[in-house]
Amino acid sequence: MNLKILVSNGFTINSRFMKSLSEIETTSRRASRASGFSWGISEEVGKSIRLLEIFSFKGIKNLNDYLNERINKKFENSSLIKRDNKPKKFSYCPILLGISFLDQINNLEKYDKINFSNIAYPLLFLSFLSRSSEVIGKKIYFKFDNQEFLMNINVNIASNLLNENCPNFAKNAQVIFIKNEDNFHEQDWKSLYRLSEQTFVDESESLKKGAAGAGLTDND
């Protein structure tokens, strides 16, 4: 993987020329409701588009294009996600598929890898993967075609998609759950820990002095 972190910790630059995150979430929610989604689903859409924009992805553009495409096209949902998922006739709706994934995440993490075919506007689906990563406390890797994304517990998203439009269709996609492991060798840890042990005596003496001082204060 040759990925770069786009945005970290949800930080955005304030500007009077930019739409606020509150505006983005509210408008996305209302537009989704006007497009035929329930208020409950629209609430989730608003949160997800806000998230995409925080991470500098083109959430508004993808949502606008998808809602316009829904006027004349049909899309499918998958109420029960399995290891391998393929729609029967139409492409997957990224919103309904994403909500199903988020709802089922605690059961889905038992799979090392989950395969999907034919997802419309996969960037919209990506936002639900990032939120799912936070729920289970694990990184989630998402790949389709030549696009790669690594969701880091909803804190940041690393990607090879830089300043480009995300494809509006994913023929074959993979979701991989990354096991939680230390990002360093045990030898390096032991070496650093031995160095840290040199402060134990200093800390102990400091605690003794603090305790003695507290005793005098209490007696007074």
Q: What is the pLDDT of residue 73?
A: 95
Q: What is the pLDDT of residue 2?
A: 61
Confidence of residue 169 (pLDDT cuts 50, 70, 90): very high
Cite the DSSP H helix spans in the chain.
21-34, 39-54, 59-69, 94-108, 122-136, 186-196, 200-219
Q: What mean pLDDT value characterizes the chain? A: 86
Radius of gyration of the chain measured on its C-alpha atoms: 23
What SS3 state is found at 106?
helix
Cα distance between residue 203 and residue 207, in whole Å: 6
Res. 13: pLDDT tops 50 = no
Q: What is the pLDDT of residue 1?
A: 59
Amino acid occupying residue 218: D
Residue ranges per domain, the chain? 4-178, 186-214
Q: What is the pLDDT of residue 7?
A: 46
Q: What is the mean pLDDT of residues 61-80?
A: 94
pTM (2 d.p.): 0.80
Res. 8: pLDDT tops 60 = no
